[in-house]
Structure 1
Amino acid sequence: MDRDAIHTPPVIAPALSAETATDLRPGGRTGASASTLWHAARPSERLGYATGAVLALSGLAHLLVFAVDGGPWYGPVSWRKPVTFGLSFGLTLIAVTWVTSYLRAGARTRAVLLVVFAADCVVEVAGITVQAWRHVPSHLNTGTPFDTVIAMTLAVGGGVLVVVLSAFAAAAFRHRPDGPLGMPLALRSGFAILIVALLSGAVMIARGVVLSRTGHQQAAYHSTTPLKPLHGVSLHAVLVLPALAWLLSRTSWSDATKQRIVHAAVGTYAAAVLGAGVWAALTW
């Protein structure tokens, strides 16, 4: 992290005063139109929002491809993968770009991390999409040299995701985030649960690689099934919980009511993640 800037509140645009920037941010006092927020955003934030939107649209487009082409929805070779990965990576990129604006982190460091994260999201979705159109598995597939390159690229990309998102999570816990009432708790909880998603994803890849290299290719493809609910549920807490805190900030409810709702939401989400973890353990 940029230690010289670590105590400086995030600024949306260099030309804006601190007070004006606070007003323009999603949790600001007066709020702002989407157009104003877009023009006030830094280049790295625009890149994150635009790239996330393209990835999400790619997922929706492949949902139409599935409707036309058909085929299985589940399994290592299906249109489900470009659909779910496009939507998940797109929404996650948009969410991370937004929520990290509340972190007390160096602006330059955050910009670099966001650009790396956006590029990695594109690489992950592109690799999965290419393999879907080739009608071959994307992960754990070493059938040909090209398949091996794709599989290894996806694995390395997963490692980059872990590093970048862990850096953001560390920043969230190192200094209390900015934002409206309830946002610091929502943001920290969202990042903590996101780490669960990263760990479960790493476990899926690791187990699949072991089975694949020991000659159990089909078992490798199916070994990820028990952890998929845990991975999917925990992945989007970083969007759902901060979004709830922001929505509550737009209401006229009392601070006590808002706090209770945020605490209840965090507890409910944590219970859902725990339930998915128990199910994974029982079906492993």
Structure 2
Amino acid sequence: MTTLNASVARAVHWHRPLMALSAAMAVLALACSAGLLLDHRTVIGAPVWLKPFKFSLSLMVYCLTLAWMITLVGRGRRLADRAGTVIAISAAGEMLLIVGQAARGRASHFNTTTPLDDVIRLTMGATIMFLWAGTLILGVLLFRTAVADRANRWAVRLGVVLSLVGMSLGALMVLPNAAQRRALESGVDTVIGAHSVGVADGGPGMPLTGWSATGGDLRIPHFVGLHALQALPLLALLLAVLAQRLPRLTEQRRARLVLLAAALFTGVLAVVTWQALRGEPLVHPGAVTLTAAGLLAAAGVGGTAAALR
């Protein structure tokens, strides 16, 4: 318990703007949970407070992870601190807009139906660009930082790279589809962009996530890539704990396993992106998708055996 309290005390003093925002997102997630129970309004077929709830949880762990990663930076620490502050301000701005639109009962993303909605959409796009740029700067600094343990070193570096790729895939959602282009050409203000592929947004969705159960959904690769930032460091931590009981799990072998996991994660990201773009729902994969998944699983088994050899 003493060790846990000391760890929490140290964590509180990580990058303070990011830690403060992470704590605020935890409180916001609770508030949105109450909204889901008490407010029965919907936006494009989904509960109005579902998007703020999911975004608050995602940003809570995102900011917490980046705050920890900044403590690893040696050379360029001042720049890392500034990048973290930019990320915190950008993320806070985006969440304010998402919550404000939810309170109004309006769609926050892709919405151009009124001048105010369009300004909010464009402002959110700007905040995301600043957030992406701040994460990129931190990633470059982490590649220049000599983290002592090789498994942790590659987990942190490749986690940031895959997270940036996942964020970039979000750009696929802001492109207008054929029907939207026709409406814009005819002078009708409409929604620009969509989550779903092959079906309209707002149809039957998976529990909690709301991802489309009848067509492709571009939020899936966005989510998968974004959270490599947590998955790979957590794997490195788990391997380090196991190594205390399994001397055969040397630093070199743990580093190989992390590199293998990053490669497999990249493969999974490619498959779910390909699946979404083909308009195929995650819960109903076709033969081609199942074949690709099987090949990835076989590569994982073979790669693990080779890494431990």
- Shorter-chain TM-score: which interval? 0.7 to 0.9
Runs of 4 or more consecutive aligned structure 1 residues displaced over 6 Å after TM superposition: none
Q: Distance in 2 between matches of 1:137 and 1:172?
A: 36
Change (3 A) 1:36 1:259: same
**Percent of pairs with identical residues:** 25
Residue 237 of structure 2 is matched in structure 1 by 246
Superposed displacement of residue 33, structure 1: 2.3
Residue 193 of structure 2 is matched in structure 1 by 220
Gap regions ≥5 residues in structure 2: 198-215, 281-309
1:44-65 alpha-carbon deviations (Å, 9 max, x no partner)? x122112112113312321231
Q: Distance in 1 between matches of 2:106 and 2:86?
A: 28
Which of 184, 196, 210 is equivalent to 2:165?
A: 196
Which of 123, 146, 156 is equivalent to 1:187?
A: 156
Which amino acid in 2 is paired with 1:268? L
Which of 259, 265, 270 is equivalent to 1:274?
A: 270
- Report if aligned partners of 1:93, 1:118 keep a CA contact under 8 Å in 2: yes
Residue 126 of structure 1 is matched in structure 2 by 96
SS at match of 1:33: helix
- Report if aligned partners of 1:76, 1:137 keep a CA contact under 8 Å in 2: no
For the aligned residue pairs, the C-alpha RMSD in angstroms reads 2.9
Corresponding position: 1:64 with 2:37: no
SS at match of 1:182: helix
Residue 258 of structure 2 is matched in structure 1 by 262
Q: Distance in 2 between matches of 1:179 and 1:239?
A: 19
Residue 174 of structure 2 is matched in structure 1 by 205
What does 1:1-284 align with in structure 2 at a 5 Å threshold?
33-38=6-11, 41=13, 45-72=15-42, 75=45, 78-173=48-143, 175-207=144-176, 211=181, 213-214=184-185, 215=188, 217-218=190-191, 220-222=193-195, 226-251=217-242, 252=244, 253=246, 254-255=249-250, 256-283=252-279
- Report if aligned partners of 2:109, 2:121 keep a CA contact under 8 Å in 1: yes
Change (3 A) 1:105 1:276: farther
Say which one has the larger Rg. Answer: 2
Which amino acid in 1 is paired with 2:131? L
Superposed displacement of residue 146, structure 1: 2.6
Which shows bigger deviation, 133-142 or 199-208? Answer: 199-208
Change (3 A) 1:61 1:112: same
Q: Distance in 1 between matches of 2:117 and 2:40?
A: 24
Which amino acid in 2 is paired with 1:52? S
Q: Distance in 2 between matches of 1:259 and 1:107?
A: 25
Superposed displacement of residue 116, structure 1: 1.0
Q: Distance in 2 between matches of 1:273 and 1:83?
A: 24
1:236-283 alpha-carbon deviations (Å, 9 max, x no partner)? 111121122134334403315533542343233223212211112312
- Report if aligned partners of 2:52, 2:98 keep a CA contact under 8 Å in 1: yes
> How many residue pairs are counted as aligned between the two chains?
250
* TM-score normalised by L of structure 2: 0.71
SS at match of 1:102: coil
- Report if aligned partners of 2:162, 2:228 keep a CA contact under 8 Å in 1: yes
